[in-house]
Structure 1
Amino acid sequence: MKNQQEKYNLPQGWIWTTIDEIGIVVSGGTPSTKNKEFWGGNIAWITPADLSEHNGKYIIKGSRNITQIGLDYSSAKLIPKGSVLFSSRAPIGYVVVAQNDLSTSQGFKNLIPMTQVDSEYIYYYFLTLKSQAEKVASGTTFLELSAKSFSKLPFPLCSLKEQRLIVSQIDLLFSKLNEAENSLQKANKGLKIYKQALLNQAFSGKLTEKWRRENSIKVSAKQLIDDIEKERQLKYDLEILEWEKSLKKWKKDKEGQRPSKPSKPTVPEKPTDEQINRKWNLPKEWQWTQLGLISFVTKLAGFEYTEYVKYTEKGDLPVIKAENVGQDGFKKTTYSKVIAESVEHLKRSKLEGGELIIVFVGSVGNVATIPQNQSFFLGPNIALARPYNEINTKFLEYFYQSHKGKKLLLATAKAVAQPSLSMGNIRQTPVAITSKEEQFKIVQIIENQFTLTNNLEKTVDNVLNEITALRHSILKKAFEGRLVNYTSDESVENLLNNIQEERRLYIENQKVLNLSKPKQKKKMEEKKSILDILKESTSPISAQELWEKSTSEGDIERFYSEIKEIYHQIDELKSKTESLLTLKDENK
């Protein structure tokens, strides 16, 4: 059996048992969200989502409460203070102790421990159970740990006194690790703050204030911008001359397609009022301009991607995607590839190194510089900005990585479910420019300092990983009986018998209490078979909703067994986020 395979040798005075032998396993439930009477009461109701940002050992409440009537007319149950909550799906493995009476969703399997088993001992042991629990979980759409499988997970039992000694020692060691971890996390935050402070100094001109006094420049920022404008116009004039020659030849020979007239240099719209208000004062040697005036901005068109871009393992040209553009610049990944010859005609999407790339859908506003002397193909959801007249691309990258620069870039982002930037928005974005020499000096200083801070960040991250590993090691030793030196003359077998007797009495008492409760005046929402639910549904239904409405709710194994019996009658429609189920037409 899987559980037996997870067991290891325990010291004398310990015994293996199972979770259901040391307490009562209780599943959670969810009152109908359609009934307002069930919600907004004073009974705490916990979901796995409430634990995603929770760091404490104990929990008092979640984001929502239910009423007494919601508790009475649902499968939710009131769980007493000291119970240990273990999330059984989405994800499996969150653990917390109830600081007060509360209820949970069906996303938990909860243990009400008997008095001779310490709640915090259980809590710490449950922290080690994630991988074991996932191995015995089932499900295709999502993994779910059933109450039966949870109940039969192994549990190492020792005397109550030793349990408390172990908890005390873990608390002591973890508190020291927590102090070290907090200090390191503060150090990491400090390094990130320093990086932003450095960028702020760089693009206010203060970082190179002394350098400007001590060095002369050949071409001012204003002259640089003027030269770029002339360069763009000259390039266009040459393209027109070439086009006129080609047109004249075409008219004479009447062969091939008529040559297309080159477009005039794109002039971006003026910055928005918000962008103007976000600008800051610059040194007199600097100039404000716009990204679209100092670089060629473009993207891979949607039809080009659909018609010509075919990823293949035989490809010889790596494709740059949004995943390659992080908050701190370029990120190497396992690249998708295309055959270079198949996209040869998409010349503006060919990257040769040194271009600025900007994410315009998804992680909007992330920027990076393509590594020098490396060929790539521009993928979807990324714009490229190819600077004119040797404008330093890294200078532009660092400008838009600064808080102020990024806010200028995002000022025109469309505020929808998935924010995005158009090419016009990107061209429109203001950027502060100085001389080439000063650009180079600023990049040099930033990269020297960032190399130091990045090395420090890596060191801190390594130590934080070591702390995590040390916590795992402490817990491993604890539940192998190697963390504290304790010799007990108590019989752990007698302890288990006493626990089981207490458990028997608890169950009998609960039966008496349930009989003494007044009968419900309202019926709970009627649970139906999966087949009946699908027959009555007018549209495809998610597996999650089907599970909650069915008679199988609370028993994942029964749910999937029922699905399997009628699977030949079901169509599964897959969306980006979930699978939807509906009956095939002939079964409706």
Structure 2
Amino acid sequence: MSKLPSTWIDVEIGEIAEVIGGGTPNANDVENFTAPGEGIAWLTPADLSGYKRKEITFGARDLTSQGYKSCSAKLMPKGSLLFSSRAPIGYVAVAANEIATNQGFKSFVLSHDINPSYAFYYLKSIRQLADSLGTGTTFKEISGATAKTLPFRLAPTAEQTRIAAKLDELLAQVDTLKARIDGIPALLKRFRQSVLASAVSGKLTEGWRALNPSVSPILPDELKKAWADAYQSDGRKYKEADLLPGSLGYPLPNSWVEAKVGEVFDVYVGATPSRASPKFWGEEIPWVSSSEVAFCRIKTTRESITEAGYKSASTTIHPAGTVMLAMIGQGKTRGQPAILDIKACHNQNTAALRVHSAYCISEYLYYYLYERYEETRRVGSGNNQQALNKKTVQSLPFPLPPRAEQIEIVRRIEQLFAFADQLEAGIKAAQVRIDLLTQSILAKAFRGDLVPQDPNDEPASVLLDRIKAQRAAAPKAKRGRRSATAG
């Protein structure tokens, strides 16, 4: 640890400031509160959650005169340091005017010789230390006695002003940089959506088609025959899906065909063996639930079923490469796709879309469902919980390019997504570095390395003696009141 400048000293904050608690009137009495800016300004720690500015004027509610008089809240002067002492410990702001707080604060009324901005930044720099001093089982809290013992690094008054001004300048630049970097993930999300929209409309591969003009479209009748032959080889009878009307709503290249999912893919709905029969659940056959279908490749499942469970549920084991679609689920699950990397069966809240490898590749279907995720969610039906069903899944419109172009589309998507992933990883690393930069700047400031010392400055030891003398001579502070009636 570097040596402090000779004109600085370390003190406890209780030596230079009065520690003030707060209070809350009866929350059930609406007469105790009024709109912000209309009564006595009053803060809770929640008012500082996510608060970015240094100074604060009021919180979500003011107190009326009645509410203020009925509780232990104390009105503090402008420039006081408002420091949350619980839930959580360490939020800090400077009072822009007279203000009171609830009991979740241990605030500091400073001597006039202490620069409030300097004190604000110093308290931000010791937030982790303050939090480590908290005690309690339900939530951690620092007491008034502990708050008085918090360390404070006292610099000469003139140097405090120089440090505060420099920190204002540097940290504003850091905040600007952080805001720009924090906005990049949203730009990358839009970039990925733009790539997908371009891919499934044919725009992404315009140049490829110009170089490959002889590639023929896939004819729907040809595909139906291929599925009928596949069914026949399995000893089953092929039946065309009964489809609902609907269209993509945008034009396709001449070599593409607008089809329906049920015309291109073999759609299955799964089932769940009885939970009451332990013999149905084991380690034999991987079983996919809707919560596992989440924009991913499924390599393992949380649960498996036995051969007996498989037969009891009359479900189907699907090969690797099958595309899964969540049809129901909590939150944003409905409409999310995934690709099986293993053989697996699935529950009734998911659809399995088998791909005919001669005509379509799994990744192209997956990226199409990824692109239309929000739109697919909207076609769900039901009163209690909206859900897709087999018919709505089969009826989803589908842009079908030639298989060779599908391969090129997937290659380009994955190349562009890999680029976006690299950028995103770099952004996350940059965000960590920026957070560390703020702490680094604060640390530099409070070891005396941020601005040069002036030998003409009054030493902090003299300043401390004066503050102690002023506090000893001052009459015992009485509870503050506003001169005008509020509320």
Q: Match for 2:12 among 2, 9, 18?
A: 18
User: Residue 16 of structure 1 aligns to a residue in which SS?
Assistant: strand
Could you tell which deviates more after superposition, 174-183 or 442-451? 174-183
Q: Which amino acid aligns with 1:406?
A: Y
How do 1:165-564 and structure 2 match up within 5 A? 165-212=162-209, 214-217=212-215, 220=218, 222-223=220-221, 226=224, 230=228, 234=232, 238=235, 270=244, 279-283=248-252, 285-290=256-261, 294-296=265-267, 298=269, 301=272, 304=275, 329-330=295-296, 345=310, 352=320, 355-356=323-324, 358=326, 360-365=329-334, 367=336, 369-370=338-339, 372=341, 383=350, 385-390=352-357, 391-402=360-371, 405-412=372-379, 421=387, 427=393, 430-435=396-401, 436-488=403-455, 490-503=458-471, 508-511=476-479
Q: Which amino acid aligns with 2:65?
A: Q
Q: Give 1:532's aligned residue.
A: none
| Separation of aligned partners in 2, 1:154 and 1:176 | 28
Deviation at 1:411, TM superposition (A): 1.0
Q: Give 2:77's aligned residue.
A: 80
Q: Give 2:28's aligned residue.
A: 34
Tell me, yes or no, if the aligned pair for 2:266 and 2:355 is still in contact at 8 Å.
Answer: yes
Deviation at 1:443, TM superposition (A): 1.6
| Separation of aligned partners in 2, 1:410 and 1:331 | 20
| Separation of aligned partners in 2, 1:306 and 1:89 | 50
Change (3 A) 1:445 1:486: same
Q: Which amino acid aligns with 1:493?
A: S
After superposition, the C-alpha distances for 1:249-304 in whole angstroms (9 at most, x for unaligned) are xxxxxxxxxxxxxxx98968847xxxx69x52231633252479835454674954
Deviation at 1:473, TM superposition (A): 0.9
How do 1:11-160 and structure 2 match up within 5 A? 11-41=5-35, 42-43=38-39, 44-160=41-157
Deviation at 1:486, TM superposition (A): 0.7
Q: Which amino acid aligns with 1:26?
A: I
Tell me, yes or no, if the aligned pair for 2:163 and 2:451 is still in contact at 8 Å.
Answer: yes
| Separation of aligned partners in 2, 1:343 and 1:475 | 65
Tell me, yes or no, if the aligned pair for 1:412 and 1:425 is still in contact at 8 Å.
Answer: no
| Separation of aligned partners in 2, 1:191 and 1:371 | 26
Change (3 A) 1:377 1:415: closer
Percent of paired sites with the same residue: 26
Tell me, yes or no, if the aligned pair for 1:408 and 1:430 is still in contact at 8 Å.
Answer: no
TM-score between the two structures when normalised by the length of structure 1: 0.65
Tell me, yes or no, if the aligned pair for 1:181 and 1:464 is still in contact at 8 Å.
Answer: yes
- Bigger proportion of residues as helix: 1
User: Residue 81 of structure 1 aligns to a residue in which SS?
Assistant: coil
Tell me, yes or no, if the aligned pair for 2:43 and 2:100 is still in contact at 8 Å.
Answer: yes
| Separation of aligned partners in 2, 1:363 and 1:478 | 46
- Residues matched between the structures, number: 470
Deviation at 1:168, TM superposition (A): 1.9
| Separation of aligned partners in 1, 2:468 and 2:209 | 81
Q: Relative contact order (C-alpha < 8 Å, sep 6+): which is higher?
A: 2
| Separation of aligned partners in 1, 2:459 and 2:204 | 72
| Separation of aligned partners in 1, 2:400 and 2:427 | 35
| Separation of aligned partners in 2, 1:233 and 1:139 | 67
Tell me, yes or no, if the aligned pair for 2:273 and 2:309 is still in contact at 8 Å.
Answer: no
User: Residue 235 of structure 2 aligns to a residue in which SS?
Assistant: helix
Q: Give 1:555's aligned residue.
A: none
Instruction: Please list every run of 5 or more consecutive structure 2 residues that lacks an aligned counterpart in the other structure.
Output: none
Q: Give 2:158's aligned residue.
A: 161
User: Residue 238 of structure 1 aligns to a residue in which SS?
Assistant: coil
Deviation at 1:153, TM superposition (A): 1.9
User: Residue 10 of structure 2 aligns to a residue in which SS?
Assistant: strand
TM-score between the two structures when normalised by the length of structure 2: 0.77
User: Residue 53 of structure 1 aligns to a residue in which SS?
Assistant: coil
Q: Which amino acid aligns with 2:296?
A: F
User: In angstroms, what is the RMSD of aligned CA positions?
Assistant: 4.5
Tell me, yes or no, if the aligned pair for 1:28 and 1:77 is still in contact at 8 Å.
Answer: yes
Change (3 A) 1:492 1:429: farther
After superposition, the C-alpha distances for 1:526-581 in whole angstroms (9 at most, x for unaligned) are xxxxxxxxxxxxxxxxxxxxxxxxxxxxxxxxxxxxxxxxxxxxxxxxxxxxxxxx
Q: Which amino acid aligns with 1:433?
A: P
After superposition, the C-alpha distances for 1:337-386 in whole angstroms (9 at most, x for unaligned) are 668879984875888465435482234357353474x57897x9984634
User: Residue 207 of structure 1 aligns to a residue in which SS?
Assistant: helix
Change (3 A) 1:40 1:162: same
Change (3 A) 1:165 1:332: farther
Deviation at 1:451, TM superposition (A): 1.6
After superposition, the C-alpha distances for 1:199-229 in whole angstroms (9 at most, x for unaligned) are 2222233223444453444552634763586
Tell me, yes or no, if the aligned pair for 2:297 and 2:338 is still in contact at 8 Å.
Answer: no
Deviation at 1:434, TM superposition (A): 0.9
Change (3 A) 1:97 1:439: farther
